Amino acid sequence: MAENKSPPQEGAYTDNLANQIDPSSLVPQALKSYWELATDYPLLSAVLLLIIAYAFALLSRAFFSYVLVRLVTRSEWRLDDLLIDNLKRPVFTTILFLGVMLAVQVAHLPFGANPMINLAASLIIVSWMLAALRLSSDILTHLSDAPKATLVEPRTIPMFDVVLKLVTILLASYTLLLIWGINPVGWLASAGIVGIAIGFAAKDTLANLFSGLFILADSPYKIGDFIHLDSGERGEIIGIGMRSTRLLTRSDVEITIPNAVIANAKITNESGGPTHKLRIALPVGVAYGSNADQICEVLQNIGDTHEETCSHPPPSVRMRGFGASSLDFELLCWIEQPQDRGRIRHEMFMSVYNRFDELGIEIPYSKHDIYIKSAIED
């Protein structure tokens, strides 16, 4: 009696992993005779395959734990340690569940082998996906710690970590769909339509996310930097997220700025450059007739003796010009911490004023002479 099978629906992906496995093709030619004998006793063969697979899995674990670990301990390269730590578990899982897949195929179970084979293959894929997720984070951290790291730095780790994890999960999901005989094309088309709808509904959020990626890649600032925006905000960067950047002002107020806004702003990074040092300038005016050499000496001494000014580069004094009522000088000093700029300027201005008062140096101020003309009656 002929068996009538309904044809597969158009566009369906009916082929799965269980239908593609031929256990006899995996057996070496020298063991073909033993395999044919084993097929006469399917349950016994399945048990033997499970025992052999488990034994080889244990051997692989021992090989990773003892042989390879001893080899890599002789190396100063830390990346090989990360590889062994992360690959030990998926290799064990792969060997064990490959044996399970062969045993299920050989056992000729009455309820069918397809679901169990697909489940075993799925567990293998999931184990490698989890290992890849852990390994990507460890490798990024290792690369960022390298002395000559340029692209992968601590501030760019979140961006690369998200991208690598997303790619890993997508590839694993695609493979799982193929294992279970599901056509991924239809799912991708549906995901594209849903993505377009989400893009229109959350365009501001997506703009902030992409701006966050560009900020992490371009790194115009980093956590701990003092920045000044063209909109007037100034403070220390305390957090850089995928959606926003957090700024702590000198008034101890936390400002959250969307990345799309700060990415288009003019940013002055006071902590930029090869060091965190900041140069401060103190404008000083003295009356005409003052001894210019004495003024330079007094200001230089104040800059040199302050405890928090840098000696490299040293403080310097410049005469900037002739003002309307004063000789204009400027004391230039470098400080280590930009957040101390206001306090240090205050202390140095106080020192300048007190020293000028001791030496009798006049600080000019604006004067207006008013003449009152009285009316003379005839």
- How sure is the predictor about 9, in pLDDT bands with cuts at 50, 70 and 90? very low
- How sure is the predictor about 91, in pLDDT bands with cuts at 50, 70 and 90? very high
* CATH architecture, range 278-359: 2-Layer Sandwich (3.30)
Q: Measuring CA to CA, how many Å separate 358 from each of 63, 252, 271, 351, 353?
A: 82, 38, 37, 11, 9
Give residue-wise pLDDT tens across range 320-361.
999 988 999 999 999 988 888 889 999 999 999 999 999 999
- Reading the block at residue 301, the tokens are 């001494």
Task: Say if residue 313 is preceded by a cis peptide, omega within 30 of 0.
Answer: yes
Among the ranges given (146-155, 299-308, 332-341), the one the predictor scored with the smallest mean pLDDT: 146-155
Q: What are phi and psi for residue 337, nearest 5 degrees?
A: -115, 115
As assigned by CATH, the class of the 217-269 domain is: mainly beta
- How sure is the predictor about 307, in pLDDT bands with cuts at 50, 70 and 90? very high
The strands making up 244-248's β-sheet, listed across from edge to edge, are 254-258, 244-248, 234-240, 226-229, 267-269
Give residue-wise pLDDT tens across range 229-255.
988 888 999 988 878 899 998 888 999
Q: What is the pTM of this model?
A: 0.56
Domain boundaries, the chain: 17-196, 217-269, 278-359
Q: Are 254 and 247 in contact (CB under 8 A)?
A: yes
Category of 273 on φ-ψ map: left (φ > 0), alpha (ψ -120 to 50) or beta? left
pLDDT at 228 over 60: yes
Determine how many CB atoms are found less than 10 A away from the CB of residue 184.
15
Q: What separation, in Å, do the N-terminal and C-terminal C-alpha atoms of the chain show? A: 144
